[in-house]
Amino acid sequence: MSARRKKTDYRYLPLRARLAMIVQGKKRKCGLSKTAARYATPEAELERERLLGPNPWAGFNHNNIACELFRMDSIKLAIAEFEEAVRLNPWEAIFKINLARAYIRNGEFEKAGVNIAEAAKREPFSPEGFFAGGLLCEATGKPQEAARCYEECLKYCPEGIIRNQAAENLAVARRMNNNKSGK
């Protein structure tokens, strides 16, 4: 008896595995018709994968709704919307920063710190990230670190609301720091 190999249906392989087979020159084995195999290129497969991948604009509606809820002090609802925005688009750093600010307002400092750290990996020089870091340090009673965060925020933010808030918070953090050192 001869051992027969089981025939594999390559159409059900993951797209990356099929792409690897195409790159290796095994176009017919990966489940493509003769015509499709003739025109299959790694570039075409990568473009297809990009088009089928997550939408880079996903989550912005949830983020905008959550920002309005945050302004209206509906923190629990804002957190739920920010979490949905992060779930839909985990690559957008501002979603994680906004979620961290909501966690700070809600008193969940550990979760806020995790989100700020993840956002800093994505955008290390984000003024919003430094501002949120300052808020976290302020809330946990670390005025020196808060002042450093606000100074960095001012360095990277040329103008706008964040700059004004950071300047005000920096002054408060310096006063708190002076009060602590004066006692």
- Of the three residues 121, 144, 162, the one that is the final residue of a domain is 121
**Per residue in 14-50, pLDDT tens?**
655 655 555 555 544 555 555 565 556 667 666 666 6
Q: What is the dihedral of CA 108, 125, 92, 135, to 10 degrees?
A: 20
pLDDT of 147? 93
**Per residue in 144-177, pLDDT tens?**
999 999 999 999 987 888 888 888 888 888 888 7
In a domain, residue 15? The reply is no
Q: What is the DSSP letter of 160?
A: S
Domain with 143, as residue range(s), is 125-183
**Per residue in 87-115, pLDDT tens?**
988 889 999 999 999 999 999 999 999 99
5 pLDDT exceeds 60? Answer: no
The tokens for 64 are: 């905008």
Residues 130 and 100 grouped into a single domain: no
